[in-house]
Structure 1
């Protein structure tokens, strides 16, 4: 696999985390990849073959080639259908709200085609990016599009950005009450604005951030250290950590790390 990341233009750093590309040859026997949520929405362009997405009821569908994937809040499994060639925009947790043409909460666990979000402009962008031969050209096309579509710099409030920064700094180990006390804001107001701008509740993002921070500690360690890792992540005990992990991935940490982790790590922002 060839995985690379790129820094966005200064005008977009407040809303875009990074761009990334992934290329890999087709596999004789493709395997499902279980994605761990990272609190970030993604705009994805498959210039290779499409991916298959598995649904909770056991059914599956082939994703569109170009789409924005909403917040992941439940187990998500995907599988390449051939050769992998992906260019992706990873937004900040609140970043896509600056471009959204529908409530971001309506995009949860969905691959929403670009033409559904942006009409003819989305179709034109998809065609241009897929036909571009180099990453630098794809970045220019996407940045021109995003800068043009940027609603306003003030479309995401200072309150939400401050809340997310605090959650990140504390690795998700903060309650809603502690946030509202620290920011001197009404709880209902914070929850409403948070959902509008991120597509997640405060508690959901905190759980995701804490899980990601804990997984970074777990990476490269032996399964026998799960108790210590859970303690470092401020979980009540190992069972609490495993329950939280399973609620997002559908499997235990030992099962997840015992399989083919690489693609899952990249898609979840762990890479």
Structure 2
């Protein structure tokens, strides 16, 4: 699981899976994957059946209170309420009816939202601007856009998102660069670095490697090899740009 700018609620109805580390326990049925600073590698034996909800970074708080822990790089367990939700949703999967399972999860989330009293107006405006600018925005400009001080914006981000505006901007910028290389691995890395505001190639490579465990060049070669495999076998590969819900 590569870092991106979203928070994901994941319910597993199939074979348990675990982090790929010696002695790691099985993951609970319901987990929250917050904003990451390193890739996560999971391992399982058997079929995993998942229903997941993807939130914008500012959108999880009304549903999950303070359980979106930010950059701790470990999935968070959510407790009995969410494990019970997984049990209810699993009943719909007897006939592989994923739509029914999704409806059960949606109904639960809507109920949580209606009971929430969190004002997300300023955080939403700031995060949406970061997405629009692909992570390239100075804190002072962002605070001015939201009509708050830089210190207030920092505090609100920590309270709602769990990370600083700079950390979210970095995740957004990385995700945009990764998507560009997925679809066009032959483009100039120097041009890409300049386009996304890096003043030197070393900084660009260091940032990307920290979040992807590989350099931009290595990632581009992997994407090129994958495209060659599908091209040689006359198959069609669909690379989907992830979308988040409106929250």
TM range (shorter): 0.7 to 0.9
Partner of residue 12 from structure 2, selected from 37, 46, 58? 46
Gap regions ≥5 residues in structure 2? 228-238
Kindly indicate whether the alpha-carbon contact (under 8 Å) linking 2:9 and 2:53 is maintained by their aligned counterparts in 1. Answer: yes
Partner of residue 193 from structure 2, selected from 201, 218, 230? 230
Kindly indicate whether the alpha-carbon contact (under 8 Å) linking 2:68 and 2:76 is maintained by their aligned counterparts in 1. Answer: no
| 1:238 Cα offset (Å) | 2.6
- Whether 1:132 and 2:92 are equivalent positions in the alignment is yes
Counterparts of 1:189-208 in structure 2 under 5 Å? Answer: 189-208=152-171
Kindly indicate whether the alpha-carbon contact (under 8 Å) linking 1:54 and 1:61 is maintained by their aligned counterparts in 2. Answer: no
TM-score by length of 2: 0.80
| 1:94 Cα offset (Å) | 1.0
- Whether 1:109 and 2:73 are equivalent positions in the alignment is yes
Kindly indicate whether the alpha-carbon contact (under 8 Å) linking 1:74 and 1:249 is maintained by their aligned counterparts in 2. Answer: yes
Counterparts of 1:147-226 in structure 2 under 5 Å? Answer: 147-150=110-113, 152=115, 154-222=117-185, 225-226=188-189
What CA distance in whole angstroms lies between the structure 1 residues aligned with 2:70 and 2:135?
Answer: 24
TM-score by length of 1: 0.73
Number of equivalences = 228
Kindly indicate whether the alpha-carbon contact (under 8 Å) linking 1:48 and 1:85 is maintained by their aligned counterparts in 2. Answer: yes
Please say which of residues 183-192 and 245-254 is displaced more in the overlay.
245-254
| 1:223 Cα offset (Å) | 5.3
Please say which of residues 150-159 and 190-199 is displaced more in the overlay.
150-159
CA RMSD of aligned residues (A): 2.8
| Correspondence for 1:246 | 209
- Whether 1:123 and 2:78 are equivalent positions in the alignment is no
Residue 76 of structure 1: SS of its match in structure 2?
A: coil
| Correspondence for 2:28 | 64
| Correspondence for 2:234 | none
What CA distance in whole angstroms lies between the structure 2 residues aligned with 1:48 and 1:254?
Answer: 36
Residue 6 of structure 2: SS of its match in structure 1?
A: coil
Gap regions ≥5 residues in structure 1? 1-34
Please say which of residues 168-177 and 77-86 is displaced more in the overlay.
77-86
Kindly indicate whether the alpha-carbon contact (under 8 Å) linking 1:104 and 1:196 is maintained by their aligned counterparts in 2. Answer: no
